[in-house]
Amino acid sequence: MANKTIDHAITAKALKSAASDPTHAGVLSFMRRRFSKNLKDLDAVVWGIPFDAATSNRPGARFGPQAIRRASAIMDNDPQYPFQQDLFENMAVIDYGDCLLDYGNHQKTPATIEREATKILKSGAYMLTLGGDHFVTWPILKAHAAVHGPLSLVQFDAHQDTWTDEKGRIDHGSFVARAVKDGIIDPESSIQIGIRTHAPEDCGIRIVYGYEVEEMTASEIADTIVRHVGERPCYLTFDIDCLDPAFAPGTGTPVSGGPSSAKILSVLSKLGPLHIKGSDVVEVAPAYDHADITAIAGSTIAMYMLALRAGWLAERR
């Protein structure tokens, strides 16, 4: 126990350091990263948006950031599989905490999220967001586009989220259509993976349906994504209901016939060639989960997103 510490999230003296907390104890941040509001000299920022007022079926994703952080404790201090490295040895990452939202005034939510996201992005750090329902991606995309210009969207999801609605409505099923209409994303170079529902519009976005994912190998799926997006700057969003309910029961709108977590993690691990500018994991609703299956999947997906960023940084240093 001589070299062991606890509560790394608040006691860490260096940002580039592994934690040694027991997995069952200690203050919980994402992968035990230091809790901080200091945005100086960072490679990546993890933050949560505990919002689920836009859900069309089961609510509860407001508890997603807490669940993902708790599940991430099992990945806090070992070389991460399959990347064979301590992600934080050469990458400075903090847990920025959560976005403060007024639960009694949802019309203020989009501007609040966009304002806080803009603040984080101005630091130059990569931003990984833990949702929250999928509506939160809308103001986040706006903040990223203000920095990088129109983005290609890489969306893992069971739903297209291309339903139309009136301006100002808060709905997790229409953010993609809004982003296309407002020029936030480039539909021709965007792609959706795992879709198992139909919407009135596809907005010109390439769709890889659930049955196609079932028939393709992970390498084929990744190659399809990389070839379609090319070298354009892109945003990676992962709705946990992309996974089959057997692997992610804890979500608001589950759809049968989806891929396994193993297959999709393999796909994610092969997306290194993409120029990913930001990412999120959304729609984890722990009230419907069993033995943290969904939260563990969500936290692992988030870890893979940081690993992709670590690989990108390593290539440029």
> Is it the case that residue 294 has pLDDT exceeding 80?
yes
Q: What average pLDDT does this structure show over 281-300? A: 97
Residue 173 has pLDDT above 80, yes or no: no
Q: How far is CA 283 from CA 103, 134, 141, 210, 242, in A?
A: 18, 6, 17, 18, 10
288 and 250 in contact (C-beta within 8 Å)? yes
CB proximity list for 227: less than 8 A, separation 6 or greater: none
Predicted TM-score of the model (pTM): 0.95
Structure tokens, 292: 């943290």
Reduced to 3 states, what is the DSSP secondary structure of residue 116? Answer: helix
3-state secondary structure (DSSP) of residue 25: coil
Tell me whether residue 120 is exposed, middle or buried, using C-beta atoms within 10 angstroms of its C-beta: 0 to 12, 13 to 18, 19 or more: buried
Residues 8-54 have pLDDT tens digits of 898 888 888 788 888 888 899 999 999 999 999 999 999 999 999 87
Q: Domain 8-315 is classified in which CATH homologous superfamily?
A: Ureohydrolase domain (3.40.800.10)
Helix (H) or strand (E) holding 195: strand 191-195
Spatial contact of 35 and 94, defined as CB atoms under 8 Å apart = yes
Q: Domains of the chain: which residue ranges?
A: 8-315
Handedness of CA 30, 35, 39, 41 (dihedral sign): negative
Task: Output the six-digit token pair for 136.
Answer: 């939160």
> Which residues sit in the known binding site?
134, 157, 159, 161, 239, 241
What is the spatial distance between Cα 226 and Cα 114, in angstroms, rounded to a whole number? 28
Q: Find the mean pLDDT for residues 246-275.
A: 96
250, two tokens: 């804890």
Write out the binding residues for Mn(2+). Answer: 134, 157, 159, 161, 239, 241
Q: What is the pLDDT at residue 246?
A: 97
